[in-house]
Structure 1
Amino acid sequence: MSRRERRTRRSPRSRVVRRVVAGLALVVVVLVLLAGWQLVQAAREVSQAKAQASSMKAALSGRDFVAAHRDAEALGATAADLKGRTDGLTWSAMSALPVVGSDLDALATASHGLTGVAQGAEQVTSVLAKPHGLLKGDRVSISAVRTIAAATDAAARGLGDLDTAVTALEDSKLPPVRAKATDLGAQVDAGLEGVEKFQPVIRQAPALLGAGGTRHYLLVFQNNAEVRATGGLLGSAARITADRGRLTLEQSFSPVLKTEQTKASFDFSASERALYGRDLDRGAVFLNSMPDFQRTSELLRQGWSSWFGNQLDGVISVDTVSLSYLLRATGPLNVLGESLTPDNAVDSLLSTAYSRYPDNAGQDRFFSAVAAKLFSGVTNGDVDTAALFTAFRRMADESRFQSQFFLPGASAVDVDPFGDEDVKRSAVTVGFNNTSGDKMSFYLRRTVKVRSISCSGDGQILRGRALLSSSAPVGGVGLAPRVTEVRPPNQYGGVWHHVPLGSQLVQVVIRAPAGGQVGAVEVDGRRRSVARAEQGGNDVVTLSVQVPAQESHVVTWDMATPNRPGDIDLVVTPGVEARSASSVASSSCS
């Protein structure tokens, strides 16, 4: 049989095979086209959801919770459309296709994540949009807090799914998909970071608010006019009780005077005494010399047992600058005949108060009245809830709000920008203490920067620079005596470091990340001796710098940070200026 005859005999079968193959190819092409069209539609819905989320964020920032709730509902509708598109057998079948299959599978995951985020956002904004959704009379609504906690958990799960989806889409074979995924990934990362910080706080909030029994807290106000490593002097404080959402300020007092009256003692460690020396002999005046509010809280807990003789459940702290932020939520307050506003509060509380009330008794009376008025304004139910959230967020961002709780299982809700374990492990921390006993820190200006100058293996060498200057009038001319003068020795035998009027003595505290080492320290280019000790695995050094009025000094140092190849956080004591003093040093290892 010839080759032509053999080909002729096979041709019917071959034609069938060719038709089947052609048919399958056509089916695949149709599926790919359909998948591509579905991918485009889904991508549009993702872009629409992104725009709705941005609008909701803007509404929240603008304190328009009603608009934010509308945006959340719109986001929920878009999420439902996307979920309806990506659920089902058709989408699952298309996920097996080459090129686009993995993208389709990732979008299905994203749809479930977006649904969780939208549900959480709808629940939270629903509470906030109600006139008294969170604050009802003189109580915080425990049920509303629990609703927000459940919504936060749903949003966290959704963001986790979105993160998984975005990671997959960043490996897409389609450049436009990769670009969109990278852009979306930054937003998802920011959302996850915010939710993960907020989640443990809101979960424990019912217990902290006294849902299961009365709680006792110490509220301390850090006075920035006399700087301390965590913010300022623990000048005034108040006892607070929490009972089923009702917060009551029971008594205002001075921790310093209370310590002297009760002869309370504090258990300082050998390393603390090596670093801070005789300053610790002044009782409660220097309890927050170390840049670690967790440690400060433990010391305050020791004092509490002597002061009041009962159990302390936690310590909450804000500084004076924070009060100006809170006044945006409460509105102006009239205190002893003076109107305090967001614009004049810092000057009034940190400067002119010492002219109006030259003696300690008058100052304590004024500061206690401010604390009581502000507490009442925040908790009376008439506060601007949106402005209150904004204030606390800013306070946290600027390291002005700190807390430590001693309830069983409540350690996760601690807010300590200085003593947080992650900060201790990975950040450079720079703190300041006024050791001349005056109120000249109101005029102290600090600019602290750290940069990476070299990379070796998996570690870096950092160079730090702290510029200290004073805007005070020369010789302290025109300033109230209490601003420029020091306190007399107290019963603990502490002696203040005397400096010329108008000058101030500032102790600089430098803490390396865990495993790091602070190198040589110079002031204005001349090497200075330092006190050095290890605290919890961190190398810490301290030195004192006298800062005269209208003058400046520069403190510089090098620091080795092994096993730290990435960017380095810098945490700095907040000052009287309404901004964050902290920053991030970019790695030189990339």
Structure 2
Amino acid sequence: MSGNGGIDLAAISGASPALSSAADTVSLTHGRLSDIETSALVPQIAAPLDQAIEALAPVKDKLTDAANASKILPSLLGAEGARNYLVLVQNNAEIRATGGLAGALAVLRAHDGRIELVTQSSGSALGMFSPAISVDPNQTTIYSNRLGKFIGDVNLTPDFPTVAASAKAMWESRHSERIEGVIAIDPVVLAHLLDASGPLEVAKDPATTSGLPATLTAGNVVKTLLSDVYTHLEGDSSQDAYFADVSRKIFESVSSGSIPGPKLLDALSKSVSEGRVLVWSAHKPEQEILTQNPLGGSISGPAASGAAFGVYFNDGTGAKMDFYVRRSVQLAKFCENDGYSLYKVRVKQTNTAPPNAATSLPDTVTGAGLHGVPAGFVQTNVVIYGPAFSQVDITRKDGTQVPFASHLHENRPVGTMATRLAPGQSTELEMTFITVVQDSPPNIRVTPTVQPVHDVWRVPEYVGCG
């Protein structure tokens, strides 16, 4: 921290050359070692070499991330003048590709390392945009023109630069602030921050909290914000107000400097690694660096190169039933033929809502059948991306081949299909991608849900030719 209570930007700028030099050195060393053909080496040499390459890989990645951060953090945090950032607080109970419905909104202002909360609002307050905001036609074909109509639907697409540009345009058409960046978070990020800061006291007035906890902790904040609030508070306005109050108090705790630096860094690092924090900048040099990192959330470019897969979920219920859905994702690689690989992406979903969900849960949670989905049921649009230039082949649902919609997004094949689950029902989709030319280790991005990521990401499977 600096003397003015903000972040010491001079220290970050001063460390940047050394971080960049170290990152370049480790990256070069890792590259040279990786280029050595180990098959002809004796085991006594090959084994230590493989171990060194494996050990250097995470060091290389972390140093590269640190070097890139040191290059853009000063300007992002207002070293060259004040910056306004639109924050989308995503509601995972009504899932969207990048996390959830952007129900709560805020504007943060960064100047000389200090951050202040300027404005709070909600998606419902912005209303519908007619005519719709202009969005890439290819993506509206895949995700519908709702991408440009409602800020709660801008993230039906998993491509965060598109999400951010649309959200920026919508906010600026209703408000006077000029937005120079967009940040997305979810309530699990708030839980990680509370784990670092300790319990948070919230409003205790029974008339406004109506049975909600007076103290929020890392253990209860997600359930409180994504489930209990709909049971104990009636109407969008009171729910939005409670959400805004909690978000404001957590922000005040973070910006006050009361959280120890290492704990705060751990909370933010964990949130980023889980895909729960996404950042976009309207400034091209900064955005070019962000696109090289998963933090930027781009479905194309350096962060999505190699054997990159993506599994994304969009709510089709029109309610808050995703709090009750448990999901898992597994990637299976099969034998190579003629230089190509075949991958299967498996997605399992279970509706854990109680059998009497239609009557025991509020209409705001079930949707009351208003959008064609019976109360208590969950409808999900599952979207799966394969690596660039591969092909999506077939899809099976619970072992039976089924039809699906096929698209192309930035040279990546996209398969989509809808599932509908009654309370207690499960289903498993398996989508096959063929002619995968990339031979790098596969990586996969998955929509962050209410679940811990270790419950969602199943161990990959590698099947030999036999």
Tell me if TM exceeds 0.5: yes
1:148 positional shift: 3.8
Separation in structure 1 between the aligned mates of residue 43 and residue 436 of structure 2, nearest angstrom: 38
Q: 226-235 vs 559-568, which deviates more?
A: 559-568
Alignment partner of 1:500 out of 374, 381, 384: 374
Separation in structure 2 between the aligned mates of residue 373 and residue 135 of structure 1, nearest angstrom: 22
1:454 aligned onto 2:357:
no
Separation in structure 2 between the aligned mates of residue 438 and residue 313 of structure 1, nearest angstrom: 31
* Counterpart AA for 1:222: Q
Alignment partner of 1:481 out of 334, 340, 363: 363
**1:161-176 mapped onto 2 (5 Å cutoff):** 163=30
Q: 1:360 to 1:152 in 2, by over 3 A?
A: same
1:526 positional shift: 3.5
Going by fraction, where is helix more abundant, 1 or 2?
1
Contact 1:398-1:582 at 8 Å conserved across structures = no
Q: 1:278 to 1:149 in 2, by over 3 A?
A: closer
Give the equivalent residue in structure 2 for 1:430: 311
Give the equivalent residue in structure 2 for 1:239: 107
**1:357-376 mapped onto 2 (5 Å cutoff):** 357-376=233-252
Q: 1:460 to 1:141 in 2, by over 3 A?
A: same
Give the equivalent residue in structure 2 for 1:252: 120
The alignment partner of 2:156 has SS state of coil
1:311 positional shift: 2.9
**1:308-387 mapped onto 2 (5 Å cutoff):** 308-337=175-204, 338-387=214-263
In structure 2, list runs of 5 or more residues that go unmatched: 205-213
In structure 1, list runs of 5 or more residues that go unmatched: 1-133, 488-495
Give the equivalent residue in structure 1 for 2:272: 396
1:175 positional shift: 7.6
Q: How many residues align?
A: 448
The alignment partner of 1:474 has SS state of coil
Separation in structure 1 between the aligned mates of residue 389 and residue 168 of structure 2, nearest angstrom: 30
Alignment partner of 1:413 out of 273, 276, 290: 290
CA deviations on 1:351-404 (whole Å, 9 max, x unpaired) are 111122121001110111111111111111111211111111111211111111
CA deviations on 1:54-89 (whole Å, 9 max, x unpaired) are xxxxxxxxxxxxxxxxxxxxxxxxxxxxxxxxxxxx
* Counterpart AA for 2:277: F
Separation in structure 1 between the aligned mates of residue 451 and residue 43 of structure 2, nearest angstrom: 46
Alignment partner of 1:222 out of 77, 83, 90: 90
Separation in structure 1 between the aligned mates of residue 327 and residue 422 of structure 2, nearest angstrom: 14
Separation in structure 2 between the aligned mates of residue 161 and residue 401 of structure 1, nearest angstrom: 29
Give the equivalent residue in structure 2 for 1:464: 345
* Counterpart AA for 1:383: I
The alignment partner of 1:502 has SS state of coil
* Counterpart AA for 1:361: S
Contact 2:328-2:458 at 8 Å conserved across structures = no
Give the structure-2-normalised TM-score: 0.88
The alignment partner of 1:205 has SS state of helix
* Counterpart AA for 1:249: L
Give the equivalent residue in structure 2 for 1:532: 406
> Looking at CA atoms only, which structure, 1 or 2, has the larger radius of gyration?
1
Separation in structure 2 between the aligned mates of residue 197 and residue 342 of structure 1, nearest angstrom: 27
CA deviations on 1:402-441 (whole Å, 9 max, x unpaired) are 1111114111135234525235443111100112111110
Contact 1:313-1:405 at 8 Å conserved across structures = yes
Separation in structure 1 between the aligned mates of residue 36 and residue 143 of structure 2, nearest angstrom: 53
* Counterpart AA for 1:485: G
Q: 1:519 to 1:185 in 2, by over 3 A?
A: closer
**1:15-54 mapped onto 2 (5 Å cutoff):** none
1:511 aligned onto 2:385:
yes
Give the equivalent residue in structure 1 for 2:210: none
* Counterpart AA for 1:360: D
The alignment partner of 1:410 has SS state of helix
The alignment partner of 1:409 has SS state of helix
The alignment partner of 1:247 has SS state of strand
Q: 1:546 to 1:208 in 2, by over 3 A?
A: same
CA deviations on 1:292-328 (whole Å, 9 max, x unpaired) are 1121112112212202244321111111111100112
Give the equivalent residue in structure 2 for 1:155: 22
CA deviations on 1:184-240 (whole Å, 9 max, x unpaired) are 432222201111123212211111111111111111111111111111111111011
CA deviations on 1:243-296 (whole Å, 9 max, x unpaired) are 111111101111342143x75732234333332336547522211011211211
Q: What RMSD in Å do the two structures reach over aligned CA positions?
A: 2.8
CA deviations on 1:502-557 (whole Å, 9 max, x unpaired) are 11111101112111111222322344333332221122122111111111111122
1:288 aligned onto 2:155:
yes
Contact 2:148-2:166 at 8 Å conserved across structures = no
Contact 2:313-2:380 at 8 Å conserved across structures = yes
Give the equivalent residue in structure 1 for 2:207: none
Contact 1:532-1:541 at 8 Å conserved across structures = yes
Contact 1:240-1:248 at 8 Å conserved across structures = yes
Separation in structure 2 between the aligned mates of residue 173 and residue 543 of structure 1, nearest angstrom: 48
* Counterpart AA for 1:211: A
Give the structure-1-normalised TM-score: 0.70
Going by fraction, where is strand more abundant, 1 or 2?
2
Q: 1:281 to 1:505 in 2, by over 3 A?
A: farther
Q: 1:280 to 1:185 in 2, by over 3 A?
A: closer
* Counterpart AA for 2:85: Y
CA deviations on 1:98-139 (whole Å, 9 max, x unpaired) are xxxxxxxxxxxxxxxxxxxxxxxxxxxxxxxxxxxx355541
CA deviations on 1:143-166 (whole Å, 9 max, x unpaired) are 222244344224324534754786
Contact 1:533-1:539 at 8 Å conserved across structures = yes
**1:122-141 mapped onto 2 (5 Å cutoff):** 134=1, 136=3, 138-141=5-8
Q: 1:181 to 1:568 in 2, by over 3 A?
A: closer
The alignment partner of 1:455 has SS state of strand
* Counterpart AA for 2:346: R
1:177 positional shift: 6.8
Q: 309-318 vs 377-386, which deviates more?
A: 309-318
1:176 positional shift: 6.3
Q: 1:252 to 1:386 in 2, by over 3 A?
A: same
Q: 350-359 vs 251-260, which deviates more?
A: 251-260
Alignment partner of 2:417 out of 540, 543, 550: 543
Contact 2:309-2:445 at 8 Å conserved across structures = yes
Aligned-pair identity in percent equals: 26
Alignment partner of 2:57 out of 185, 189, 197: 189
The alignment partner of 1:513 has SS state of coil
Separation in structure 2 between the aligned mates of residue 395 and residue 435 of structure 1, nearest angstrom: 26
By relative contact order (CA 8 Å, sep 6+), the higher-ranking structure is 2
* Counterpart AA for 1:395: S
1:471 positional shift: 0.9
Q: 1:149 to 1:379 in 2, by over 3 A?
A: farther
Separation in structure 1 between the aligned mates of residue 32 and residue 366 of structure 2, nearest angstrom: 60
Give the equivalent residue in structure 1 for 2:66: 198
Give the equivalent residue in structure 2 for 1:266: 133
Contact 1:322-1:395 at 8 Å conserved across structures = yes
Give the equivalent residue in structure 2 for 1:31: none
The alignment partner of 1:392 has SS state of helix
